[in-house]
Amino acid sequence: MSEGPRFTLDGREIPLVPGQTVIEAADAAGIYIPRLCHKPGLEPFGSCRVCTVKANGRSVAACTYPASPGMIVESDTEEVNAHRKLLLEMLFVEGNHFCMSCEKSGNCELQALGYRFAISAPQLEFQFPVRDVDASHPDILIDHNRCILCARCVRASRDLDKKEVFGFVGRGPHKRIAVSSGTRLRDTDADVTDQAIDACPVGALLRKRVGFAVPVGRRLYDKVPIGGVPPAPEVPVSEEKRA
Which residues make beta-bridge pairs with 13?
8
Q: Find out whether 150 and 176 touch, Cβ atoms under 8 Å.
A: no
Query: Greater confidence, 109 or 217?
Result: 109
The answer to whether 7-76 and 82-228 have equal CATH topology is no
The 10 Å CB-count burial string (b at 16+, else e) for 100-128 is eebbbbbbbbbbbbbebbebeebeeeeee
Q: Where are the domains of the chain?
A: 7-76, 82-228
Q: Find out whether 95 and 147 touch, Cβ atoms under 8 Å.
A: yes
Domain 7-76 in CATH 3.10.20.740:
yes
CATH code of 82-228, in short, is 3.30.70.20
Q: Find out whether 152 and 202 touch, Cβ atoms under 8 Å.
A: no
Q: How confident is the model at residue 237 (pLDDT cuts 50, 70, 90)?
A: very low
- Look at residue 60 and give its three-state secondary structure: strand
The 10 Å CB-count burial string (b at 16+, else e) for 24-41 is bbbbeeebbbbbbbbbee
Q: According to the model, what pLDDT value does residue 183 have?
A: 86
Summarised one tens digit per residue, pLDDT across range 19-64 is 999 999 999 999 999 999 999 999 999 999 999 999 999 999 999 9
Conformation bin of residue 216: beta by default, left when phi > 0, alpha when psi is -120 to 50: beta
Summarised one tens digit per residue, pLDDT across range 114-139 is 999 999 888 899 999 999 999 999 99
pTM higher than 0.85 for the full model?
A: yes
Summarised one tens digit per residue, pLDDT across range 194-205 is 999 999 999 999
- Look at residue 137 and give its three-state secondary structure: coil
Examine the pLDDT at 236 and tell me if it is beyond 60: no
Q: Average pLDDT over the chain, rounded to whole?
A: 92
